[in-house]
Structure 1
């Protein structure tokens, strides 16, 4: 059971006192979450102003620092349209990422325009694709295209826990029926983050937690930082082992 630490997401700088934005902050935070029990890190690269960016120079600077100064764990980057709203420009930017400094994998939301074309590009570039599946319709895209993925991220976006659970179960059921064999990671956002993580632990799926997904511990108190969130997730996983 892997634990992936999602360090910053699309949260605005200052949304949490410990939200890592700069390259130095992300490198330091990567070390902290690995020490707390994470097996990999997921990052939304940021430009010097703190905005999400897929620009080649931004990605290269981040990856160079993580490879040379960060912990020796897999690095996943986003390709979300929140970082680049034009799918064709996104394709061009990813195509221009420097090959010696490519991430191990990227997350790719299948409901977003241009996702299938980008998946083909990433396969050509030998970057693993973690398919972001938010809905049953997105799961159908995965099945219909026979897309080669290293993991399926089941990501219900409903606000209410019961609605999120219902959506996640429908997605997982479709994946089972279609015999999609890739490892699965189940996670929620904010109010659903911990219930989805607990469901993932109970089902033996991989886990994801971090300030991208929630800024609070299960009791509602604000987490001190990403490492505190990861440490709590690791303790839940260890208790269930």
Structure 2
């Protein structure tokens, strides 16, 4: 499964075609799915362009995408930096009237178990985001671990060797736990393509999109999300020489 991660916390200063509004997300999502992606991961934005879990903005984004792609699974992020932030995120999710198919929840965050339980109780699938061995150990100890939709191995290290080692450590913890839950592995900026290649080699699900980096495998800037998706499918057939991507500013 190849998931398209369309925007994340990126802005148009990062890439001119970063989709922000509900209509932009819907248009870009349709292009990404046409290019071959199977599912979507998006970060709805408020009127100010900032990430938000506010119910009206979430509903607008989901409705706009579903109007174009009624059969495509849609996932959202719940990371702690998204407004309203902190414990307020739980109250925002409780107030959602239009529900995504799933959400990603980072185990590094203190309230991750509470967010997992809340989303499962509302019938929302959970992607458990693991950044480290410590996250993996915390996750496998949860009673809800086997109820999750999938596990995300999310590598933030910018050195390729360090990133691959971090992913291997997480996979070792998961293997010991024998959870039988699908795994999606991805990198970020400099490790985006190396971790994608590693996921292909291991038969894991993965994702590509502007949230994880704007460069093509040859180091040129992608025209947009659809171009990144097409490059990912080409890489699955013809592994390229990868030019490391520079980390995002800030």
Same fold, judged at TM 0.5 (above):
yes
In structure 2, C-alpha distance between the alignment counterparts of 1:223 and 1:203, rounded to whole Å: 26
- Indicate the residue corresponding to 1:140 in structure 2: 137
Aligned to 1:96: 95
Any idea what the Cα deviations from partners look like across 1:6-58, whole Å, max 9, x if unmatched?
00001123310111111111000011001110000100010111100000111
Higher relative contact order structure (alpha carbons within 8 Å, sequence separation ≥ 6): 1
Q: TM-score, normalised by structure 1?
A: 0.95
Q: Secondary structure at the match of 1:108?
A: strand
1:195 aligns with 2:194: yes
**Separation in 1 of the partners of 2:218 and 2:233?**
16
1:28/1:70 contact within 8 Å kept: no
The answer as to 2:108 corresponding to 1:111 is yes
Unaligned runs of 5+ in 2: 240-250
Residue of structure 1 equivalent to 2:183: 184
| Residue of structure 1 in register with 2:39 after alignment | 40
Conserved? CA contact 2:54–2:83, under 8 Å: no
Could you tell me which residue of structure 2 aligns to residue 83 of structure 1?
Answer: 82
Question: Cα deviation per residue 1:63-116 (whole Å; 9 max; x = unaligned)?
Answer: 111122335210001101121363210000000000xx2000001001112110
TM-score (norm 2): 0.92
Output the CA distance in 1 between the equivalents of 2:137 and 2:106: 13
Q: Distance in 2 between matches of 1:18 and 1:28?
A: 11
- Whether the 8 Å CA contact 1:209–1:230 is kept in 2: the answer is yes
1:171-207: per-residue Cα shift (whole Å, max 9, x none)?
0011001112111011000000000000000000001
Please report how far the alpha carbon of residue 157 of structure 1 lies from its aligned counterpart in structure 2 after TM superposition: 1.1
Deviation at 1:160, TM superposition (A): 0.5
Note if 1:151 corresponds to 2:150: yes
Could you tell me which runs of 5 or more consecutive residues in structure 1 were left unpaired when the two chains were aligned: none
Size of the aligned set, in residue pairs, is: 237
Please tell me the root mean square deviation across aligned C-alpha atoms, in Å.
1.3
Q: Which residue of 2 aligns with 1:165?
A: 164
| 8 Å contact kept, 1:30–1:71 | no
Runs (4+) of structure 1 moved beyond 6 Å? none
